[in-house]
Structure 1
């Protein structure tokens, strides 16, 4: 850029900043709307070119306006979208650093904490936190160290906007990935969400838990009770996600016995005093006793047990096919199962899991079979 063009650019920038500094809130909002409309999708170098290599000065002005007035919520969504232009621009890591240095994360979390702020503005704050989280592990840790998980979980649970809930859910999943130091904290926050009163929040928490369990690679016993309570929900999406998560957790020895015991217990619910429920806020209030929720609970528990039984049946059929394909393995399988159980297996593999007793099951779990040795014999 020539010296003359630089001077023109600087003069235009000073005039722009003078207009900003002297302008009312309404005037500033018009300037922000023009900026967002013109600059959305720009790269860092393009923003610098537009602001005569001083775009950081404009970001600082926007950030200061947010910090001073976010409690009132006036033009807050627009302000956050303007910050998003800077943070989402490629080749612009300096803007992220500058925003964090002035307490950007804490400000965004404070916005989520304020009851009077609109859900759509909280959604914008969550999107900025998402950009920060996606920038790398140390930024995820910064959010978590600022008690971000608790704030985001509470926002998800209490918000009345589906968009806000879904944005918070995506952010929680992002905080779990590549964040070894705090992934357990995210997991516990999701478990806590199962006890909230919002079906949508429960559904999203269950979906996230299916992903986070694979990251954490463990299951805490504290999840069993709130998870089983999800089977009592009248919301079909919540029930479906709960059953899917139960199926996933059956591979974790830490919780499998408690889950099976709890599922069986739900088939025989404890009788309680009749309660009344209102479906879909129908003005013609529909009253019903606990019989319907109890029936739903029993049906969901039975479905979860059936799916677990189906997986056992498929495992038996697969093993029988494997034995038929490699006859040399018959002796190894028989030695692992015992003669009586092996005869049951060969005669009716589909019903094996129903006919074995507790002792046989314990023997089957404790015995180990080295299939590779049998296959090596077959190869020879």
Structure 2
């Protein structure tokens, strides 16, 4: 009786494989949809029972089909979901090894870089890679050795949908944890994402950088310039994450370089100007700006950062005073081209004067008693009350604290 049942099982399996092997695109799509519906969440032994102990044979067919057709996107989503059922099943170590041994990781990474593949299909490829990454350090290293960090980072930067970008971020985070051999590679890959054109990618990269930094990654000097560059973003969620990362890095090896960069950017140079002006600015009747809006946004963000850092740490407050930050902030206060820069700079100067009698005394000498009193009474709206003479005083100020050094570019 047992032999008869085994023969029947083998017959069913052979009939199933024959249907698959001889099936056209529509037939295979129908087979895959049925397989996904009835086998999602099953364990390895349950899959073997369902497939009459032919799970590895069907996985091999799926993998072969993936490798032959992924460039055309034929049933790609369904193939990836079916492979994911095998790889995610409890007790599926054998399936993972079989998939990896035939080049499954490389194929998934190639899917991420194809322009003709849909975002939805790339999302499924990322989820499949996540299943492998969760399986342990060995698989994380295999992904990284296959140039996986670069492929995933580029997918995050170029993707047009948030779902795909978020799955790419999740995979990068997985690759950073429990993977000491390649943790620095992931860290540098995230830094490389900061100048990209996608605000969502910048936001996710900054979030992940904070996580990677928190798990013991030594801060790399290369992070300073792109991180400060992100402060030009008009997207508040990007600026928020950048500011949080800057605060985290104040305890790291790049603290001094970051502080100097922040103070320096309060006085943007002409070379920071736009390469091509928007057409509206070519109108002779339009206001003539010496620098583009992103530079002013960055300037305002730097002034805000100075105020927040000074409020959060007396040591950092003293350091910035020693860097002659007040002199630069007063210049920003007098720059009437961008009111948000003026407002943030006024708030920062007001705080520094309130905690440092020396700064208050030097302000009194540099800008006069009346302007100082206006500042201390209402820094938030000071920019609305400045007359041309006071603006000139702020722009030409020479406030200095004895013994401080000038910060130059």
**TM-score, scaled relative to structure 2:** 0.73
Shift of 1:217: 3.0
Shift of 1:120: 1.0
CA distance in 2, matches of 1:66, 1:31: 15
Q: Is the 8 A contact 1:267 1:302 kept in 2?
A: yes
Distance change >3 Å, CA 34–CA 231, structure 1 → 2: same
Distance change >3 Å, CA 287–CA 60, structure 1 → 2: farther
| Secondary structure at 1:232 match in 2 | coil
CA distance in 2, matches of 1:166, 1:142: 22
Q: Please give the residue correspondences for 1:189-200 in structure 2 after superposition, counting only pairs within 5 Å.
A: 189-200=189-200
Shift of 1:8: 2.1
Distance change >3 Å, CA 305–CA 315, structure 1 → 2: closer
CA distance in 1, matches of 2:358, 2:30: 71
Distance change >3 Å, CA 264–CA 138, structure 1 → 2: same
Shift of 1:234: 1.1
Q: Is the 8 A contact 2:87 2:95 kept in 1?
A: yes
RMSD: 2.9
Partner of residue 337, structure 1: none
Q: Is the 8 A contact 2:133 2:140 kept in 1?
A: yes
- Choose between structure 1 and 2: higher helix proportion: 1
Partner of residue 174, structure 2: 174
Distance change >3 Å, CA 277–CA 46, structure 1 → 2: farther
Q: Does residue 6 of structure 2 align to residue 6 of structure 1? A: yes
CA distance in 1, matches of 2:223, 2:197: 17
Q: Is the 8 A contact 1:144 1:182 kept in 2?
A: yes
CA distance in 2, matches of 1:292, 1:2: 79
Q: Please give the residue correspondences for 1:230-241 in structure 2 after superposition, counting only pairs within 5 Å.
A: 230-241=230-241
Q: Does residue 265 of structure 2 align to residue 266 of structure 1? A: yes
CA distance in 1, matches of 2:171, 2:229: 25
Q: Please give the residue correspondences for 1:1-380 in structure 2 after superposition, counting only pairs within 5 Å.
A: 2-252=2-252, 254-271=253-270, 273=273, 276=277, 290=291, 292-313=293-314, 351=355
Q: Is the 8 A contact 2:230 2:238 kept in 1?
A: yes
Shift of 1:173: 0.5
Partner of residue 329, structure 1: none
Distance change >3 Å, CA 62–CA 358, structure 1 → 2: farther
Gaps of 5+ in 1: 279-285, 317-347, 361-380
Distance change >3 Å, CA 79–CA 358, structure 1 → 2: farther
Partner of residue 373, structure 1: none
Give the total of aligned pairs: 323
CA distance in 1, matches of 2:278, 2:304: 24
CA distance in 2, matches of 1:64, 1:45: 23
CA distance in 2, matches of 1:130, 1:31: 25
| Secondary structure at 2:181 match in 1 | coil
| Secondary structure at 1:28 match in 2 | helix
Distance change >3 Å, CA 174–CA 277, structure 1 → 2: farther
Distance change >3 Å, CA 28–CA 175, structure 1 → 2: same
CA distance in 2, matches of 1:164, 1:353: 53
CA distance in 1, matches of 2:31, 2:102: 23
CA distance in 1, matches of 2:14, 2:179: 43
Shift of 1:5: 2.7
Shift of 1:358: 9.0
Distance change >3 Å, CA 315–CA 194, structure 1 → 2: closer
